[in-house]
Structure 1
Amino acid sequence: MANGGSPSNPAKFKNQDFAQIKADCLRKGELFVDNEFPPNGLSLGDLPDMSSSQESEVKWLRPKDKPAFCTDGMSRFDFGQGDVGKQNFLAYSQ
């Protein structure tokens, strides 16, 4: 198996097990919060062009219903850089 895993057998990031995390959250009735990538300013990284007031306006949202990043195959055009950037997302999702 390649280091990156596969869609049916993904590689674990820092030994996180999706099936176990999902089962635990469902059992507890809680939403998952990733301590390795928390929804706060620490996960934004160093953004020298962003003021602290702009940073405080960042909204951390959860997808609704059944989100899907890629529905018709993957392409390098699926993600845009945007103002804040998605380097962390892309690095963790490969």
Structure 2
Amino acid sequence: MATEKVQLPSATPPAMESCRKKKSDDATFLQDVKDHIDEFVHASMDEHATCFKKTISKMFGMSKIVAARNAAESKEVESSLPLQTVVSD
């Protein structure tokens, strides 16, 4: 059984780019799903591994961004006054 391997140019894509390549912007939903499945089935193991690594890196990168944003928000000064009770006779 012969397999065809498609060599893609090895340009470094931006960090947030998807592994998926859209064939047509005006495709119907079913055509888009069919193209996605075909692309997945015909991808080499190296392409699957690369895409998996990119996806994991993207997930951890987003979690770091969210954590940094939350840390920056928590550094804001929160003022509170002590509760004073007055007991009168």
Structure with higher Rg: it is 2
TM over 0.5: no
Q: Which has the higher contact order (CA 8 A, sep 6+)?
A: 2
Q: Identify the structure with the greater helix proportion.
A: 2
Q: TM-score w.r.t. structure 1 length?
A: 0.24
Q: TM-score w.r.t. structure 2 length?
A: 0.25
